[in-house]
Amino acid sequence: MTNRGFTLIEVMVASAVFAIFMVGILNLLDTSTKISVVETELSDTQENVRFAAYHIMRTARMTGSAMMPMAANVAGTDSWLAGSLDSNQSTNFTTPFGAVEVVDGSDVLTLRGFFEVAPFFRTSMRSARSPAVRR
């Protein structure tokens, strides 16, 4: 009579080897999922930084490009300015919109322009009601 099948010890050893193998595979999948999440968040952050830099550069390039009403410089008051800074010497300055505090050691760039709408839209010449998206 020949014995067919596996002994209990053989089944337990095979199950243990399979369990160790599966733990290793699941650990690898978990690690790769965590790396994927971190890489996706990093990519999103880089995209946001690129968008912000593009938006700032575009706004800076548009500075002074529109027709702006110029008030007369009454008695040297620079009434046409929203505010002025002289070499960032003070820690705060006042504009018509309120007081602005400047952190020591920081640089301030004051842009002057007509920024009524976002730089990604322009008013169509055909209709003043429908903005057209710039591409």
DSSP H or E segment with residue 123: strand 121-123
Residue 83 included in any domain: yes
Q: Which of 75-79, 103-107, 131-135 has the weakest average pLDDT?
A: 131-135
Tell me the residue range of the domain where 29 lies: 8-133
Give me the pLDDT at residue 128, please.
Answer: 46
Q: What is the pLDDT of residues 11-37, one digit of tens each?
A: 999 999 999 999 999 999 999 999 999
Residue 30 included in any domain: yes
Q: What is the pLDDT of residues 90-125, one digit of tens each?
A: 566 676 677 777 777 666 666 666 555 554 444 444
**Which of 108, 74, 72, 76 lies closest to 89 in space, CA to CA?**
108
Distance of CA 20 to the CA centre of its chain: 43
Residue 108 included in any domain: yes
Count: domains in the chain: 1
Residue 31 included in any domain: yes
- Please report, in angstroms and rounded to a whole number, the separation of the first and last CA atoms in the chain: 83
Q: Which of 2-11, 22-31, 35-44 has the weakest average pLDDT?
A: 2-11
